[in-house]
Copies of this chain bind each other. A is one copy, B any other.
Amino acid sequence: MSPELTRFKSVMRQNNCFITKQRLALFKYLQASPAISINALINDLPNQDQATVYRNIKLFERIGIISRLQLGWNSKLELSNTFHDHHHHMSCVKCGKVVAWEEDPTIELRIQTVALKLGFIPQDHQLEIRGLCQSCQK
């Protein structure tokens, strides 16, 4: 069992949530790519009703398993699994491609400092960069 799966089950148990096959399939699907739209989820998990998908997305958000991203100016809402090492996203304004990147210690540290200065206890953060990807620069 992958460490992400172990962690997933542990978080679910901590929150008194049943581990159903629908939830497992959703979690695994979310692990496969850095960002995915709700529509893609509903289409690619055809054995689940859309109501179930929506309910479980909301649950996963509430207990911190996924978070919502707003990538481009015209893009749909997307979801990303927070159990990835990469929390941050860079998206191309032209072709829409999304690349995830690893935490950057300098940025993480700065975020801590800024949050504390404003009186917040930081819990989570999200950084999205928009720009032109290599192939769209040509």
Query: Which A residues have a C-beta under 8 Å from some C-beta of B?
Result: 58, 61-62, 64, 67-70, 73-74, 77, 90, 92-93, 99, 101, 104, 106-107, 110-111, 114-115, 118-134, 137
A128 to B70, CA, bound (A): 11
Q: Which residue of B lies closest to A111 (CB)?
A: B129
Residues of B within 8 A of A58 (CB): 74
As for how many copies of this chain the complex holds, the number is: 2
Q: A70-B69, A104-B114 are in contact. Are A131 and B124 (CB under 8 A)?
A: yes
A22 to B115, CA, bound (A): 36
A126 to B130, CA, bound (A): 9
A106 to B120, CA, bound (A): 20
Q: A104-B114, A114-B104 are in contact. Are A120 and B70 (CB under 8 A)?
A: no
Do residues B104 and A110 form an inter-chain contact, with CB atoms below 8 A?
yes
Do residues B129 and A90 form an inter-chain contact, with CB atoms below 8 A?
no
Do residues B114 and A122 form an inter-chain contact, with CB atoms below 8 A?
no
A2 to B120, CA, bound (A): 32
Residue in B67, B114, B123, B125 whose beta carbon sits within 8 Å of that of A132 in the complex: B123
Do residues B93 and A73 form an inter-chain contact, with CB atoms below 8 A?
no
Do residues B123 and A137 form an inter-chain contact, with CB atoms below 8 A?
no
